[in-house]
Every structure is written in structure tokens, then in C-alpha cells.
Amino acid sequence: MKNLLQLTLVLLCLVVTNKTIAQQDKTMYIFGHSLIVHDPPTIPTPSDETSVPHWLHFLAENAGSSIGVSGQYGFLPNHEDRTANETVRAQWNFDHVAQAWNSDNEDFSEVDFDVILITAANFIQYKPSNQNYDGPNSHTSPLASILNILDWAKAEEPNAVQYIYENWPNMNGLVLTEDGEFPPSEAEFENYHEIALGSFHDWWIDYHDFIQSARPNDNIKMIPVGPIISKLLTETPLNAITAETLYEDDSPHGRPTIYFLAALITYMAIYEEKLPATYIIPTSDTVNPVSPVVQANYQGTIDFIWNELLAFNYSNGQSRVFANNPLNVDYSNENVLVDIFPNPSEGVVNFSVLTSLINIEVYNTNGEKVIKKNKFSNSSLDISELSNGLYFIKLEDENYNTTIKKLIKK
């Protein structure tokens, strides 16, 4: 009876229903720069299409939720100085997005912000973030600056979730080698994505790890915007989108398409829910704000992003991005000591365990059971018939201990 109850509880935790997304109203403050809000763009747009908050507003509205946003331009040392001198302000205004804070007559702490979003510059990744800046900011480092900002924000808004927004890399001096001018050649653009997914992303992972090590009691999250965009542009039909459609210069400031993609990622990270596929990207008689390739592949795009966010974890399986686990799956059971390899796998996965496995179940991200093996005694499992994507594998050993691991079929 006890074993049956344990199994029932595990299954209940894995079930993900197709319920309507619950309404969530959020307020956000952004310590940002032009890879979040780019105003004005070189080519005028109907509204604030070259900003993440603009698209967050419309995505939230379509999902039955809402968002209010305030923020300020600057790099980390600027924001650090403002927090130290109490000069943080609500600098930004948008055509459609509700202003979360009136800094002229209200204190920051009075707003009850739900989200604090912070990003570093995209041209400082040539040395570790715990080393001091070169030049006029040599008195501090990216790590020291952000810790001071995070500490100030926590003191002001202790209930807000704090996120590190990983942006996309600079191009100037990095990949523009053939003639030194924008746009990049095809080879340069491929190299750009390799850097975004390689050394650039590694810098941000180390950065997040440094922050968590310095503030172990703070649950500070990270949104991998840049690398997910690079994966979308290299691994999905969105690879048909040209560099000129995404960026307007080598900094690279973006055009509406990249801010829309960034908003898709940011929305699903902070709302901790997969977007509905019902949003229709607006067009204009004079300008098409977002590449039609995105609209044509919208369902696949949000599926891809959601799976990437679900798979963005620490080595112990805990999410780097979600403050709460959106699938309500417990990865913390260490009683089943098992290693799964290769992972990702194209067909067969192997198990290295200290005790014998007796039951194996595999679930997709909708909570549907796609494989079940009882009284399992093999050391490998064939998953070749599964579609490519993210899965959850539940393992039970001979002592009825259970654990759940993430598995990627490629």
C-alpha cells in the first residue's frame, strides 16, 4: 500500500494538464541597455518594436495576463553607482506598456516589483567576470557590480525574483574579419553563432555560478536569451532569417525580429509557462516588424524555446531559470544513484547504477507517458522511436527509491 501511494504521488506530480494559462499580473524593473530596449532604431518602426517590454506586453495580453515595466539605461558600473547614490529612476516610457513605477513621487520599495532583470555589457567577455574591468571602471568587476545591484534590489524588494539576462555577443572585432564591415558574411555569421553558444555562453554560466557562490542563500536565476536565439537561427527553420533582418549594425543593435524572439524567451522564463500558439504577429502597410518566417513557424518556435528553458539546469537537475518548477517534478532524490549516457542520445541510452533498476517510465513535456518498462533488468534503453526533443525519465530501483532525470533525444 505504501509503495502504491508513493507511485501515485509521483505520477500526480508528472501530470501536466492542458488547462488555460492562469492569469498572472507582473511588474518588472530592468537594469538594462540597448539589447533590451533599443530606441530609436535606424529604421523607424510603428511603435516600440525594438524593445523586449513592447512584445512582453502583447504576449501577456494574448495569454490573459499583464505586465508593467520600468527601467533605466546603463552598464553595470552605471547601475551600481545609481544604487549606491539612490538615483535609480524610471527612465523608460512605452506606447503600450504600462509604467510600473513613477519615480518622481514613489519610492522603489513601494512598487512591490515581481521581477528584477539585470544584464551586463556584451563586449566584456574576453576575461572572467570576477576580474576588474579595463579602463575607467578598473575599480570594480562585472561580478562586484552586479552583487551590489542585487543586494540593493533585494533590500528594496525582498520578494522580487532576480534574473540575469544573457544577451547576444558583440560582432565588432569578434567575427567581422573579411572586410570589417556589417553585415557579416555567411561564414562570419556561422562563426558568430558558434561563439554565442561557446565561449560567450560559458562566460555567462561562470558568471551565474560566481553569483550563486557569493550569494548561496539567494535564488538568483538566469535567462539564456542569446544562446537560445542562436540555436533557433541554426537548428530550426528560422535559419532562413538573414543577419540584416535581425540586426542593424555590428554592436549588434537589433531589429524587431530579435527583440520579439528575446521576448518569447523572457516571457516563458519569468511567467514559468509555455505561451499559447494563438498570438498573431502584427504587420504594417509600411513595415513588417517581425520576419514572416517567425509567424510561419510560431508553434515550433515556442515549443523549441520551452524545451530549451526546461533543459537549462545545474548539474544536479535544478533549474537555472525557473524560480518554481513549472512541471512540478522533483529531481532531488539522490537515493537512486544513476548516470545516463549518452545524453543527448540518438537511439540508445545506457544506465550506470549501484542498485538494480526495476521500473522505467519516460514522459514527454506534456506529462504523457511514452515508454514504460516494468521488471527492467537491462543496462540500456532504446529510445530511437521517440521524436527529437526533451523527455523526463523516471527510474525506480529495487528498494522502491525513485528519481527523475531529464533526457534529450536528438
Q: List, for residues 307-362, the tens digit of each pLDDT value.
A: 899 889 887 778 899 988 666 555 555 555 677 889 889 889 988 766 677 788 88
At residue 37, the 3 state secondary structure works out as strand
Q: Which of 404, 397, 256, 267 is nearest to 327 (CA)?
A: 404
Dump pLDDT digits (tens) for 259-314: 999 999 999 999 999 999 999 999 877 677 899 999 999 999 999 999 899 889 88
> Is the preceding omega at residue 342 within 30 degrees of 0, hence cis?
yes
pLDDT at 12: 37
Q: What is the pLDDT of residues 186-227, one digit of tens each?
A: 999 999 999 999 999 999 999 999 999 999 999 899 999 999
pLDDT for residue 17:
34
Q: Which domains does the chain have, with CATH numbers?
A: 25-310 (3.40.50.1110), 332-409 (2.60.40.1930)
- Tell me what pLDDT residue 180 has: 67
Q: What is the pLDDT of residue 179?
A: 58
Contact 369, 404 (CB under 8 A): no
Q: Check residue 113 and give its pLDDT.
A: 97
How far is 210 from 214, CA to CA, in rounded Å?
6
Q: Which residues pair with 349 in a beta bridge?
A: 381
Where does 71-198 have alpha helices with state H?
Answer: 76-85, 142-156, 186-197
Sign (positive/negative) of CA torsion 290, 296, 298, 303?
A: negative
Looking at residue 366, its pLDDT comes to 67
Rounded Cα distance, 203 and 165, in Å:
13
DSSP letter at 184 equals P
What percent of the chain has a predicted confidence (pLDDT) above 70?
Answer: 89
The residue ranking higher by pLDDT, 248 or 355, is 248
Adjacency order of strands within the sheet including 369-374:
369-374, 357-364, 389-397, 402-409
Under the banding of pLDDT at 50, 70 and 90, the label for residue 94 is very high
Q: Name the residue with cell 513613477.
A: 102
- Measured CA to CA in angstroms, residue 186 lies from 155, 196, 200, 227 at distances of 47, 15, 20, 18
Q: How many CB atoms lie under 10 A from the CB of residue 289?
A: 20
Least confident of 38-47, 152-161, 306-315: 306-315
CA–CA dist 89, 53 (Å, integer): 17
Strand, helix or coil for residue 31: strand
Comparison of pLDDT for 44 and 318, the residue scoring more: 44
Q: What integer pLDDT is reported at residue 121 of this predicted model?
A: 97
Cα–Cα separations (whole angstroms), residue 39 to 33, 259, 267 = 10, 12, 21
Task: State how far the Cα of 407 lies from the Cα of 410, in Å rounded to an integer.
Answer: 10
What's phi and psi for 404, nearest 5 deg? Answer: -125, 130
What distance in Å separates the CA atoms of residue 194 and residue 267, rounded to the nearest whole number? 25
What's the DSSP call for residue 241? Answer: S
Task: Name which of 184, 320, 153 is nearest 247 in CA terms.
Answer: 184
Q: Which residue matches cell numbers 532504446?
A: 382
Q: What is the pLDDT of residue 9?
A: 36
Q: pLDDT tens for residues 1-22?
A: 434 334 333 333 443 333 344 5
Phi, psi of 58 (to 5 degrees): -75, -35
Tell me how far apart the alpha carbons of residues 325 and 55 are, in angstroms, rounded to a whole number: 24
Q: Are 67 and 284 in contact (CB under 8 A)?
A: no
As given in the structure block, the three cell numbers for residue 234 are 541554426
**388 vs 333: which has the higher pLDDT:** 388
Average pLDDT over residues 390-399: 80
Q: Give tens-digit pLDDT for 62-77.
A: 999 999 999 999 999 9
SS3 59: helix
> What does pLDDT average to over the chain?
88
For the segment 229-258, the average pLDDT, to the nearest whole number, is: 96
Residue 40: pLDDT band (50, 70, 90) is very high
CA torsion through residues 184, 185, 190, 191, sign:
negative
Helix axes 225-235, 298-310, angle to 10 degrees: 130
Per-residue pLDDT, averaged over 162-170, amounts to 97
More confident residue, 287 or 165: 165
Residue 67 confidence (pLDDT): 98
Residue 169, SS3? Answer: coil
pTM of full prediction above 0.85? no
Q: What is the pLDDT confidence band of residue 393, given thresholds at 50, 70 and 90?
A: confident
